A and B are shown apart, each in its own frame.
Chain A
Amino acid sequence: MSKRGWILVFLVAIGLVVWAALLLRSPEPQASQAAPVFRGVQVEPQGAFRMVDGPAQISFPRDHGPHPDYLTEWWYYTGNLFTAEGQHFGYQLTFFRRALLPPEDRAERTSSWAADQVYMAHFALTDTGAGTFSSFERFSRGAAGLAGAQAEPVYQVWLEDWQVTEVSAGRYRLEAKSGEVSIALDLVDIKGPVLQGEGGYSPKGAQPGNASIYNSQTRLGSAGTITVGEEQYAVSGLSWMDHEYSTSALGEGLVGWDWFSLQLDDGSELMLFLLRHEDGTLDPYSSGTLIQSDGSTRPLAAEEFEITPTGTWTSPHTGARYPAAWEIRVPGEEIALAVRPRLADQEMRLSFVYWEGAVRVEGQRQGGPVSGNGYVELTGYAHSMQGEF
């Protein structure tokens, strides 16, 4: 064999061994950024969740607590707070409960971690002075003391260290902290619980069962501290609490709602919600409540108020187009209000996307000037809320 021939043989031999090695070797394991896919088995429930199909006997403190036989429930705290110098902050702290199984399907379990309820919480802070908005989300099982709600011995709703706890009758401590942002407030219920709709029964559509039980604490005197990074602010102002539970809150064809909670400086509050159809039209079951300064309430049917958007804002993050200013009229009460967001971008980009933000209110009531603060929630603009709750 020639010299070249030999070199060839060796090259081939080396090639063969390298090839065999590569063949036998599995590709070097690489951790990718991709998320694993979990395909769970779908088990058809035997039973069904309880439906809200008519007015209920509501009794406090019991009904401040959870109603686990209904599919969803939430405790919604929002508020407008000011420092002594007048710097404005808005906050939202919401606890969502969702049942995993209808009552009949729940098995007897021996582990205290066994959960048939899951909790989610959202926390947001609007720092109007700095022009910043931060939002956070958490999940936990409603078991092992990690998250839950209770009416007795004292009212409490919590997810880990985010919590609202009753410290004495009508007085609460609200705490939440995430990253650089934290809030700690003492709340005092000035007016007592308010039942929305017909004594707490709030229909959301013509179909029986498309309704919720809805009550609020519309005027919670608030004082405490807000921390942003190294800065600590002593703040005071007003908060609003909504507690609502249901099994089917959105009727067919509805994509979302616009919800307003406005606290006026004449001592009254106005709650309004619009249910929106896919085609943009409003549902006749949209409604509201006027809470007078003495605590008496006047339910408002859809035809008793008008809400006219006067501006829009398109989210640069999601592309969703939200109404961004409104004119609100309640002719029967001679109320005409202009509502403007404190900050344009108060979009909550979490498991689902919605806009929930602090607003400033100015206008007239019965000829006199009136002003105030509030919160507005706009859902179903980035994606339909159908099936989410």
Chain B
Amino acid sequence: MMQGTVFLPAGLRRVGWRYFVLRWRQSLFMVLGIMLGVAMMVSIDLANASAEEAFVLSSEAVTGKATHQITGGGPGVPEEVYTHLRREGLEVPLAPVVTRYVSSPRLGDRPMQLLGLDVFADAPFRGYMGEQASGGEQGLIAFLTRPGAVALSEENAARYGLRPGDTFEIELEGRRKEVFLAGIVQPPDDLSRRTMEGLILADIAAAQEVAGREGWLDRIDLILPEDSQALEERIRDLLPEGLQLAPVEARGGAVAEMTEAFRVNLSALSMLALVVGLFLIYNTMTFSVLQRRPLFGTLRCLGVTRGEVFGLVLTEALWVGLLGSLLGVALGIALGRSTVGMVTRTVNDLYFTTTVQAVGIPVGSLIKGGAAGLLATLITAALPAWEAASVPPNTALVRSVLETKVKGLVKWSALGGAGLIGSAVGLFSLPEQSLGLGFGGTFLVLIGFALLSAVLLAALMRAVEPFSRRLVGLIGRLAPRGLVSSLSRTSVAVAALMVAVAVAIGVGLMIDSFRYTVTVWLDQTLQGDVYISAPSFSANASLSEIDLRVVEWIQSQEHLGELYILRSTRVESRSGPVQLSASSNLEVAEERLYAQRIGGSDTVNRALSQGAVLISEPLANRMGLNAGDSLELLTGRGWRSIPIAGVYYDYSSSEGGMLMLLPVYRSLWQDTAVTALALRLPPGMDADLISRQLEEETSSLQRLNIRPNRQLRAEVMQVFERTFAITAALRILALLVAFVGVLGSLLLLQLERQRETGILRALGLTGRQLWGIVMLETGLMGLAAGLLAIPTGYTLALILVYIINLRSFGWTLQMSIQPSVFAQAVGLALLAALLAGVYPAWRISRMPAAEAVRYE
């Protein structure tokens, strides 16, 4: 087909071009449709790429070239393990690591990683301190020997005006520590410069002291050669119980997988906009072909070949697609500024703390978006182009033939639609629960419903006609019939609007259901009056430790009622690290909602006290576990098989977690650290007041988040809203695309029918009556789209809630239906359609009959 484009006679190209210029509005709408679709894809892709880059850079900053890591659940790796391994003469690079998230008011109060390393061992891994770590380096002396000595990258020091020798404060889990800037690292290349942006380097001794981690390492990094089974076995034999050696990928993999699900969701949503945009292109191209049927007939008479006509139309599409895509890419970059922020924020809330911000724009995203826009335009335009090429070489044929043909097509498209929906149902019921298939099915359903819209529109109009006739007489009869008689264009416009509104309904219902579910879950789970935790950078799970002096002091305040202690940490399972929470509340099992249980409350409580765990639904889904199964965990006493007493609903993380009783945890891990406290106050005590008092009295020891129940709940909901901010924004954008599209198609539709209208005018209809016809037509279209969007949107919501969310995040949501969502959607569709009708109606009603009839 490209040959046709290239060898198109110059005169013929002019034909296309002239048409374009004359119908600039029409072209504008096509360009606009593609532009918005591409812009959304690009902006989401940019956000995804930048979130991923931030993740990769942030984790690379601390992982470096390590291939394996030795880790331990609970408090970490005892430091003597490292010395033991070193003195074994393994002859592989080994490096101890102590790492903590910190922030500093002096360094922009952003999350940073305090990375404690041993300069004598670290060069093969990260090389921040250079290869030459000889003792002779005078400059290293202060870094090695000064308590609280740290180093920063040259950029960070310059940006925040710090000079070697300065002291400044950092905050670590609510505790302020003074550190001393003992040196500046000049990274050798751009990559290290980027990764160092979020790092505060320290000698391992200083890091232990600052973090209060004397005696412990967070992990030991290793670089093992490939196929080192024997060596790995040897190392495992050297490790005490409770530690494990695992490849780095296995550890980062789980997080990467979960963010992947999140990103796929966003991408799919952004593609919806392009789909809506494609409807518009199809609609507009079809329309332009229709308009020019006589022209194409004439051209064919003049000896222009079928292929040339096809090429002509496709060339037009190519230009429109190119311009729209380019503008879309540019707009996408602009929109990307806000989407990047939103996505990164959510990823930080839900998955991991990034300390490095991605900068720059990955060209891949732009090319991907632009190419998708162009390609989609060409494919969509192929059908109308084919239509144009099949115009027989005479001008006698009129539209009515096409409309007759369309009537036959309506049946086929309805059958096709039903077929697509059927195959989607088939896809969903496949045993393979992949997210890709889930989204594939979702698109099939949407397109299926869109294909059904023509037949439904015709049926609806026939049903409406008697009513509208009775209501507004002749006009009421003309309008619905007019819509049916030009079904080839009206149905596509309605389908586009319907898809957009359905997406709005579906996504809206999903968010409502989610919100409802979280609210119910919070009611059940948050039963304390005051919650205390140490500040952390993750919104959903604080692993920061509370100073034990604070714990003791609060424990001594007996008038405050019951105090429950919670320890949250990460422990090793056979399939990577898992979050474990241990509660001193022996009735904690009563405060959960269950998907599965091994028995009644008593049975579960008994199992828990005997060492069982409860696991959250996402974890159960992720690992394929059920109540009654057991799970192997690396405890302080080696691998233990822990029975699962139940699966509870939990929406705090899509990674999932486990819950056990504190005495069980402490006996298995010998870890007395505390990460959260919950107070159940005696009746009559004011939680707000107590919170403020506690905050004041503990502030000298540690800055803690002390929140009354109500505030904590509000904060959880805030994170929730933040998480869905981008989804909501996408939903609005999809509507905007549809609105522009519908505006365009209605405008064209009405302009195209000028002659018809002119005849009506000539027959004596007043301007007001014409106005009425146009408004009624567009109103009916809007109404039809709105009504059709209700079942489509509802189906979409069902899919999103029960299939997509479950497959992406492992969460079962309770469907919550607020009728207002439907009303809003119908109203929206109607409003969009009516607004779109105003201009054509105004034009037509003011047009003198003669001019209207003149047509072209």
Contact = CB atoms under 8 A, between A and B. Distances in A.
B145 A106 contact: yes
A229 to B, nearest CB: 14
B138 A40 contact: yes
Interface string B266-291: 00000000000000000000000000
A35 B205 contact: no
A177 B86 CA distance: 12
A294 to B, nearest CB: 40
Contact of A111 (B134, B191, B205, B363): B205
A119 B86 CA distance: 14
B132 interface: yes
B56 to A, nearest CB: 10
Given A21-B361, A111-B208, A178 B194 contact: no
A292 B133 CA distance: 43
B560 interface: no
Interface in B174-208: 181-192, 194, 203-206, 208
B188 A42 contact: no
Interface string A97-111: 010110001110111
A144 B83 contact: yes
B594 to A, nearest CB: 46
Contact of A21 (B135, B359, B363): B363
Given A25-B360, A30-B190, A351-B136, A17 B329 contact: yes
Given A17-B330, A35-B130, A141-B144, A112 B362 contact: no
A17 to B, nearest CB: 5
A189 to B, nearest CB: 25
B360 A24 contact: yes
A114 interface: yes
Interface stretch (A6-14, A197-205, A297-305, A371-379): A6-14
A110 B189 CA distance: 36
B151 A113 contact: no
B322 interface: yes
Nearest to A29: B191
B7 to A, nearest CB: 14
B184 A38 contact: yes
Interface residues of B, number: 75
A160 B86 CA distance: 5
Contacts of B187: 36
A240 B831 CA distance: 99
Nearest to B85: A160
Contacts of A351: 132, 134, 136
Interface stretch (B87-95, B295-303, B673-681, B752-760): B87-95
Interface in B307-363: 319, 322-323, 326, 329-330, 333, 359-363
Contacts of B323: 10, 13
A73 to B, nearest CB: 12
Interface string B107-145: 000000000001011000001111111111111111111
Contact of B87 (A37, A40, A119, A160): A160
Contacts of B130: 35-38
Given A24-B360, A30-B191, A39 B184 contact: yes
A144 B82 contact: yes
B186 A100 contact: no
Contact of A27 (B96, B140, B190, B326): B190
Given A107-B146, A144-B82, A20 B91 contact: no
Contacts of A41: 139, 142, 164-165, 181-183
Given A21-B361, A115-B144, A139-B134, A38 B189 contact: no
Contact of B10 (A3, A13, A14, A388): A3
A335 interface: no
Given A26-B359, A35-B127, A38-B183, A20 B208 contact: no
Contact of B145 (A6, A17, A107): A107
Interface string A29-58: 111101111111111000000000000000
A60 to B, nearest CB: 26
Contacts of B329: 17, 21
B139 A40 contact: yes
A17 B39 CA distance: 13
Contact of B361 (A25, A43, A105): A25
Contacts of A382: none
Contact of B151 (A29, A38, A105, A161): A38
A110 B127 contact: no
Nearest to A387: B136
A144 B146 CA distance: 17
B214 interface: yes
Contacts of B82: 144
**In this complex, which of A10, A20, A43, A111 has the most chain B Cβ atoms within 10 angstroms of its Cβ?**
A111
B553 interface: no
Contacts of A29: 189-191, 194
B786 to A, nearest CB: 37
B209 interface: yes
B86 A113 contact: no
A143 interface: yes
Nearest to B208: A111
Contacts of B128: 36
B87 A161 contact: yes
A284 interface: no
Contacts of A160: 86-87, 89
Contact of A177 (B17, B89, B188): B89
A4 to B, nearest CB: 11
B188 A35 contact: yes
A140 interface: yes
B131 A35 contact: yes
A120 interface: yes
B260 interface: no
Given A39-B183, A98-B135, A111-B208, 15 more contacts: A17-B366, A29-B190, A32-B189, A34-B188, A35-B130, A40-B164, A101-B141, A106-B145, A110-B209, A110-B214, A115-B205, A116-B145, A144-B80, A160-B87, A161-B86
Report, nearest first, the 7 A-B pairs whose CB atoms are least far apart: A40-B139, A118-B135, A161-B89, A26-B360, A34-B188, A41-B164, A29-B191
25 contacts: A3-B17, A6-B17, A17-B366, A29-B189, A30-B190, A31-B189, A31-B191, A32-B189, A34-B189, A36-B129, A38-B130, A38-B186, A39-B183, A40-B182, A41-B164, A100-B144, A100-B145, A107-B146, A111-B205, A113-B208, A114-B145, A119-B135, A120-B135, A140-B120, A177-B91
